[in-house]
Every structure is written in C-alpha cells, then in structure tokens.
Amino acid sequence: MNLHEHDGDERKVALVTGAAGGIGGAIARVLAEHGTAVAAVDRDASRLETTVEKLRGEGLTVTGHPTDVTSAAEVTATVDRVEREIGPIDHLVNAAGVLRAGEALALSLDDWSEMFAVNATGVFLVSRAVVERMVTRRRGAVVTVASNAVAGARHGMSAYAASKAAATLFTKCLALETARHGIRCNLVAPGSTDTPMLRALWKGDDAVRAALDGRPEQFRVGIPLGRLADPADVADAVHFLLSDRAAHITMHDLTVDGGAALGA
C-alpha cells in the first residue's frame, strides 16, 4: 500500500524541490498540514533530513529525497522512486533556487552558470520528468516559485533576475502546451522574504530598514506594506494555486511582495 491512499480516500501527492530552504520548507509544511503526502527534495541532504524529521515529528506525512535538480539522471530516479513508493504525483512545486548578488560586469561565469543551472534548468528537468507523467493521467498542477525581480531592472540582480525570467516564461509556455491535458501551471513571485538566503545578503544593521524603505541610490523602492514577507505568506499562495479553488487559473503569476514591485 502506498501513501496515495489515506483513510479510504485518495490523498494528494506533492513533490516540492528546495524543501530544505525557507520558502520550500514552508511550502512542504502547509501542503502536509492540509493532508498532502509531500516528497521533499533538496540537494543539501543534511538540512533536508533536519526539515523532514521536524515535520514528521509533528505527525505530518513527509519523506526526504536528496536530489540535485541540475542532474537529469538524479531527477528521473527521484521521480520514479516517489511514484513507486508514495503514488502518482498530483502537484509539483519548483522552489529550489540560488541567489548570487553582484553587478553584471563583476559576476563570475560560475555564478551565472549556477543560477541558471538551478533556477532555470532545474525547473525544466523536474517539470519535464513530472509533467510527462501528469499528461498520461490528464491531471496535475504545477507552481514555480519565481521572483518579483522579474518585474523590472534591479541593481545587483542581473543573473538572478534573468534566470527567474527564464523559469517564468518556461512555466507559462508549459502551461499553454499542457492545458489540453487538464494540467495547470502557475507562478508565485515573492519579494524580500525572511529566509536564510535573504539574510546571507544582508550587510550592516540597516539591511531590514533599507529593504522596507528602499534604496534611492539603487533606484529601488521599498515595501509599501512595511514588512518583509514570511515564508508562510508565499506558501499559502502556492497552496491556493495548487488547490481546486484555483481550478480555472493557469499561466498566472501571483506576486507576493507587499507591493514592492508596484503592481508590475
């Protein structure tokens, strides 16, 4: 018996990449709290184990699957294992991401390559492996976690924004091509969110204040709602787009940034 059966009813199965991160972990939590069996994927095996043990300790149905999303072979093996041991994947969340800030002319090729490998190629590889199975079942929903950095030029964010823009347009094209099979693909675009990835970029004690108030010298506005996002804010948006409440929504980009992109 696999985990797709739950108390006599069909339990949804979700695969979440980047599940050891702040946003990915919050997504895994909210989906599991709503009764989904979550296959948590991340390349950091140690952090993933910690995250999974915490969630399982709270009685949630979460399994860990260390995987490098930039490896086609690892992705295929993980998807095969999840479908064999847990059940057909109903929902996919592409939340794996890396950020290397820096001005365009100062970026190294390694920084550029890693961001595209994880943020764009990873989305392609995981989506392809999962969605081709969804097509045969004529059901499924995908959410890719993009970024509000795609909304316009951002100082020090050229490679990150470009990689997220690639993931954004790929997801929308995938949505168009698979709509006839009953599959929905949407995006959630967070702004500044209180995660370890964001904190790693902070320099000085005024980092939070600068995020909230903006940086005129970088032509960057602040956050109109006056606070950083919590990972749960993003996770709730993802949960909504995966749910039946969003049954007629596809190719949509839901921005969760407190107004920082000024509605762009």
Q: Pick the catalytic residue from 112, 116, 124, 160.
A: 160
Beta bridge partners of residue 90, listed in sequence order = none
Q: What Å distances lie between residue 185 and 12, 91, 94, 136, CA to CA?
A: 17, 10, 11, 16
Strands (E), the chain: 5-6, 9-10, 13-17, 37-42, 62-66, 91-94, 140-145, 183-190, 214-215, 220-221, 253-256
d(CA 104, CA 252): 29
Q: Between helices 22-33 and 45-57, what is the axis angle to 10°?
A: 30
- Phi-psi category of residue 141: left, alpha or beta, with phi > 0 → left and psi -120 to 50 → alpha: beta
- Asked about 160 being catalytic, the answer comes back as yes
Catalytically active residues are 160
